[in-house]
């Protein structure tokens, strides 16, 4: 242990209330881990139990306890800047447990008080949307290991991630924190992340369970969603994560589903999660989520975070009146104890406060480069060695590593593209390199004050005069312009944010005109939180690299791909539509406000969050399921992405012509081009669709090859199970695999199917183990 401190069992002690009668002498007391949990529970006072199921609250310095906004967690207890802690009960050897955000890296405070001798920076990894675009679960697991190591070394017990809601609409404000529009990709990525983080002996929280897909009125909105869509799209991702990742905790979401807050829903938390999926971990609320602590206890939401005195009062009163049975409380306490026994705080695992940030930066850089998607390339990339670059765009000099809110990370630095290209041996036009940072600095100073959780407004692009553009075209070899977009928790993106501004388009046009006149190329880099409109301008530049928000190593990773140091191999895990109106959920996005403000809203919610609802009448037709089935043209389809080479996908071999219990499928992939590269092989399935309407194709498997040299091959195989063939039949509340002919489609994207083969299923199969419906 270097310069660390041993975990304390004592903080929060002052808040413990225990009646004298219940306090036996210390020697007689059961101790967690040494005695049975049952005995420990029997020795607890009612107050202690209630404390244990409610966190210790958020007491930020200088803020009254009533100041609960922003809801993003922030506590000074345990590890400063963590999101919350649980109560310690030292007399029973129950330590406080520390939980902290979030999906792109550990979010804790970087400095502590006046102590300037030490910093607590964490690695800002790429956003989840980028990680998903790598289609590489091994890579994501590696990122998880590095992230989990920081969690452990900074003395935190649980990372509040991965976040895994659905990219239902491009304007979802937290889409950057989520993986994909497809549940298989989201679920597999989340499971890999969970395995990676938890390999370090710390926990995760798969969040936000479930259907918290947009930010608008998120604390009150009622998501009306059909049983089939709920099971096949929204729950399915969590099901995979729970089954394949086994997260220590799941975080219930803010919203209601079909009339009930998810945190108060026995159907979701007990029926689906525990009964259907066999989940044996803990459920915690999102921060201040839901309303009725008693209903939450009954539903199986064991831990209320960050925990409030009002919740404790309500729970004690309900126990007194009999509205809440002691047995329910004891069940929840038992699950919390089981969880606590796994934590480093309980096990006394030492921590150094000094993780290997250098090694983790290397992981972040590689992951970032592997998840970028080359959307277009007409001979512009890779950049030839040492070419002189006219580097434009504010974000080239002031990169956007990730989104804001709880998904942000207090990183030590962010590498700009200017720095990345320079270190890769490229000269950047000196006048631009001088003008941009100065301009950005001046503009930043003019911005109105904001809380650390608010996304900074975009500052207008530095206007580069026409004469300058012509000079750049003469004096440099290639133009690279970066378009930047941020996004953050608490609000959805706007239509304006989805489009490029007139100034951005004009700049792309001016640069293209000038550079093309000199027979030189223009590259556009998108440093963005989510999907954008591209069709109106994409024909103008010669190449477009979708760099997403790549984390703190942004500039190195972008430059790695631009120069070919890393072969581009990312593929879209979310469709780029031609226009926003084409997205099926846009017809009723974000939903409608019901009558007046929510009468039950208290605290920060009063006057802000209003009763609202949204109907998911896009049903299961989310993303490519819609575009492919309805034949709607896309800008860039799901699964799409270019490399610096090409691949040939050989004959598809099936293990049989008839489906028995399982079916194997395999294909040989060969690098048919001139550069090394990695291919993402996507297995889609078309089901007969006799009883239920079925999408033209659905992703059922994916595999990424290793780096293949020109001419080199790799065979990838998949196993299809009955569940892969099935759809959710709401009428019988079961998964049904129909009899009939199925077609396996192997594609390089959902619109680029290279091989097909069919097999038959002779009998219909119902898959058991599904609880009743969730709401109406």
Catalytic site residues? Answer: 286
Q: Residue 207 or residue 335: which is nearer to ligand BGC going by CB?
A: 207
Closest CA to 99 of 355, 310, 306, 279: 306
Q: Which is nearer to ligand BGC, 148 or 637 (CB)?
A: 148
Nearest by Cα to 602 from 292, 164, 216: 292
Question: At its nearest, how many Å lie between ligand BGC and the CB of residue 47?
Answer: 25
Q: How far is the CB of 79 from ligand BGC (least distance, A)?
A: 13
Inter-residue contact 576 to 531 (CB < 8 Å): yes
What's the min distance (Å) between Cβ of 649 and ligand BGC?
39
Q: Which two tokens stand for residue 1?
A: 């242990």
Q: Pattern 287-316, binding to ligand BGC, x per CB under 6 A?
A: x-----------------------------
Crossing angle of helices 235-245 and 183-198, rounded to 10°: 30
3-class state of residue 166 by DSSP? coil
Q: Decide if 87 contacts 56 (C-beta within 8 A).
A: yes
139 near ligand BGC, judged by CB under 6 A: no
Please tell me whether residue 83 binds ligand BGC under the rule CB under 6 A.
yes
* Residue tagged 């880099």 (tokens): 525
With tokens 């065979």, the residue in question is: 715
Q: State both tokens at 765.
A: 């199969």
Rounded Cα distance, 656 and 272, in Å? 34
Please tell me the count of residues contacting ligand BGC according to CB under 6 A. Answer: 11
Residue closer to ligand BGC by CB (options 71, 508) is 71
Q: Report, in this order, helix, strand and coil percent for the chain, each rounded to 5.
A: 30, 20, 50
**Binding to ligand BGC (CB under 6 A): which residues in 13-72?**
71-72
Q: Which of 37, 48, 101, 182 binds ligand BGC (CB under 6 A)?
A: 101
Q: How far apart are CA 482 and CA 548, in angstroms?
A: 11
Determine the distance from the C-alpha atom of residue 310 to the mean position of all C-alpha atoms in its chain, rounded to a whole number: 31
Check residue 468 for interaction with ligand BGC (CB under 6 A). no
Distance (Å, whole) CA 283 – CA 291:
16
Q: Which is nearer to ligand BGC, 343 or 482 (CB)?
A: 343
**Site for ligand BGC contains 160 (CB under 6 A):** yes
Subset of residues 258 to 287 that bind ligand BGC, contact rule: CB under 6 A: 286-287
Question: CA–CA separation, 713 vs 705, rounded Å?
Answer: 9
Cβ 618 to ligand BGC shortest distance, Å: 24
Least Å distance, CB 599 to ligand BGC, is: 23
The radius of gyration of the chain's CA atoms, rounded to the nearest angstrom, is 26
Nearer CB in complex with ligand BGC: 101/239 = 101
CA dist 175 to 83, 157, 167, 181, 492, Å? 21, 26, 6, 10, 9
Pairing of strands 260-261, 256-257: antiparallel
Which CB sits closer to ligand BGC, 207 or 700?
A: 207
Least distance (Å) from ligand BGC to the CB of residue 327? Answer: 30
Residue 70 C-beta: closest distance to ligand BGC, Å: 7
For ligand BGC, the closer of residues 72 and 139 by Cβ is 72
- Tokens 């206007």 belong to 463
Binding mask 603-642 vs ligand BGC (x if CB under 6 A, - otherwise)?
Answer: ----------------------------------------
- Whether residue 349 contacts residue 2, with contact meaning beta carbons closer than 8 Å, is answered with no
User: How many Å separate Cα 456 from the centre of its chain?
Assistant: 21
In the beta sheet, which residues pair with residue 159? 100, 204
In the bound complex, what is the minimum distance in angstroms from residue 158's beta carbon to ligand BGC?
A: 10
Smaller CB separation from ligand BGC, 108 or 464: 108
> Cβ-closest residue to ligand BGC?
73
- Nearer to ligand BGC among residue 160 and residue 526 (C-beta): 160
Among 406, 486, 574, 585, the residue binding ligand BGC under the rule CB under 6 A is 406
Other CB atoms closer than 10 Å to residue 316's CB: what's the count? 16
Angstrom distance (rounded) from CA 110 to CA 119: 6
Q: Does 391 bind ligand BGC (CB under 6 A)?
A: no
CA dist., res. 504 & res. 85, Å (int): 45
Distance in Å, CB of 170 to ligand BGC, minimum? 20
Place of tokens 């605290």: 603
CB 397 within 8 A of CB 429: no
Restricted to residues 504-563, the positions that interact with ligand BGC (CB under 6 A) are none
Query: What is the rounded distance in angstroms from the CA atom of residue 360 to the CA atom of residue 448?
Result: 34
**Strand 662-671 and strand 389-392: pairing?**
unpaired
Instruction: Work out which of 12, 55, 73, 300 binds ligand BGC, going by CB under 6 A.
Output: 73
101 versus 714: smaller Cβ distance to ligand BGC: 101
DSSP-assigned beta bridge partners for residue 704: 680
Neighbours of 278 (CB within 10 A): 11
Query: Which residues in 200-229 contact ligand BGC (CB under 6 A)?
Result: 207
Kindly state the smallest distance separating residue 83's Cβ from ligand BGC, in Å: 4
- Residues that bind ligand BGC in the complex, under the rule CB under 6 A: 71-73, 83, 101-102, 160, 207, 286-287, 406
């Amino acid at each position: 242990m270097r310069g660390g401190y041993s975990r304390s069992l004592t903080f929060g002690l002052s808040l413990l209330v225990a009646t004298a009668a219940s306090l036996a002498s210390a020697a007689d007391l059961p101790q967690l881990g040494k005695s049975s949990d049952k005995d420990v529970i029997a020795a607890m006072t009612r107050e202690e139990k209630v404390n244990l199921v409610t966190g210790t609250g958020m007491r930020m310095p200088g803020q009254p306890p009533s100041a609960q906004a922003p809801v993003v967690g922030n506590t000074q207890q345990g590890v400063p800047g963590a999101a919350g802690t649980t109560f310690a009960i030292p007399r029973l050897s129950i330590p406080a447990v520390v939980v902290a955000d979030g999906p792109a890296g550990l979010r804790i405070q970087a400095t502590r008080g006046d102590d300037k001798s030490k910093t607590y920076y964490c690695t800002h990894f790429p956003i989840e949307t980028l990680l998903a675009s790598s289609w590489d679960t091994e890579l994501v697991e590696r990122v998880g290991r590095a992230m989990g190591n920081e969690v452990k070394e900074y003395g935190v017990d649980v990372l509040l991630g991965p976040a895994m809601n659905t990219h239902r609409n491009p304007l979802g404000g937290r889409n950057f924190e989520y993986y994909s529009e497809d549940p298989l990709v989201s679920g597999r990525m989340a499971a890999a992340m969970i395995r990676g983080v938890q390999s370090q002996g710390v926990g995760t929280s798969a969040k936000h369970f479930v259907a918290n897909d947009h930010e608008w009125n998120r604390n009150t909105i009622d998501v009306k969603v059909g049983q089939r869509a709920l099971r096949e799209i929204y729950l399915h991702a969590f099901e995979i994560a729970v089954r394949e990742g086994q997260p220590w905790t799941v975080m219930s979401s803010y919203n209601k589903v079909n009339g009930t807050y998810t945190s108060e829903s026995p159907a979701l938390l007990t029926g689906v999660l525990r009964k259907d999926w066999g989940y044996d971990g803990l459920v915690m609320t999102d921060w201040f989520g839901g309303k009725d602590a008693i209903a939450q206890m009954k539903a199986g939401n064991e831990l209320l975070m960050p925990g409030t005195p009002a919740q404790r009062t309500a729970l004690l009163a309900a126990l007194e009146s009999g509205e809440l049975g002691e047995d329910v409380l004891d069940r929840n306490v038992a699950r919390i104890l089981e969880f606590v026994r796994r934590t480093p705080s309980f096990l006394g695992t030492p921590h150094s406060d000094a993780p290997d940030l250098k090694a983790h930066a290397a992981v972040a850089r590689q992951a970032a480069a592997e998840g970028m998607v080359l959307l277009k390339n007409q001979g512009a990339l890779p950049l030839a060695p040492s070419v002189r670059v006219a580097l434009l765009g504010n974000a080239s000099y002031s990169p956007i590593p990730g989104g804001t809110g709880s998904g942000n990370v207090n990183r030590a630095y962010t590498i700009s593209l200017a720095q990345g290209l320079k270190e890769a041996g490229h000269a950047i036009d000196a006048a631009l390199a001088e003008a941009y940072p100065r301009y950005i600095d001046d503009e930043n100073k003019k911005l109105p004050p904001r809380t650390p959780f608010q996304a900074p407004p975009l500052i207008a692009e530095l206007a580069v005069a026409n004469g300058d553009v012509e000079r750049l075209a003469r004096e440099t070899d290639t133009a690279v312009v970066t378009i930047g977009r941020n996004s953050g928790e608490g609000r959805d993106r706007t239509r304006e944010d989805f489009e490029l501004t007139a100034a951005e388009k004009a700049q792309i046009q001016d640069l293209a005109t000038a550079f093309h006149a000199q027979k030189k190329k223009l590259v556009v880099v998108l440093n963005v939180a989510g999907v954008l409109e591209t069709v109106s301008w994409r024909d103008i530049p010669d190449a477009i690299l979708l760099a997403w928000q790549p984390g703190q190593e942004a500039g190195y990773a972008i430059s790695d791909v631009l120069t070919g140091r890393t072969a581009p191999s990312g593929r879209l895990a979310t469709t780029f539509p031609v226009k926003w109106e084409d997205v099926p959920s846009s017809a009723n996005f974000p939903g409608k406000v019901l009558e007046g403000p929510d009468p039950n809203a208290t605290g920060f919610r009063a006057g802000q969050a209003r009763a609202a609802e949204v109907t998911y009448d896009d049903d299961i037709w989310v993303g490519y399921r819609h575009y492919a089935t309805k034949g709607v043209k896309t800008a860039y389809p799901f699964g799409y992405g270019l490399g610096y080479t090409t691949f040939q996908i050989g004959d598809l071999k099936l293990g049989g012509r008839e489906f028995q219990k399982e079916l194997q499928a395999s294909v040989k992939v060969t690098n048919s081009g001139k550069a090394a590269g990695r291919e993402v092989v996507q297995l889609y399935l078309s089901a007969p669709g006799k009883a239920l309407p079925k999408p033209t194709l659905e992703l059922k498997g994916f595999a990424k090859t290793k780096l293949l040299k020109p001419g080199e091959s790799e065979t990838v195989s998949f196993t299809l199970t009955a569940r892969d063939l099935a759809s959710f039949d709401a009428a019988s509340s079961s998964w049904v695999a129909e009899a009939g002919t199925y077609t396996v489609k192997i594609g390089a994207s959902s619109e680029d199917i290279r091989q097909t083969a069919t097999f038959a299923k002779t009998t219909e199969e119902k898959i058991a183990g599904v609880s009743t419906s969730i709401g109406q």
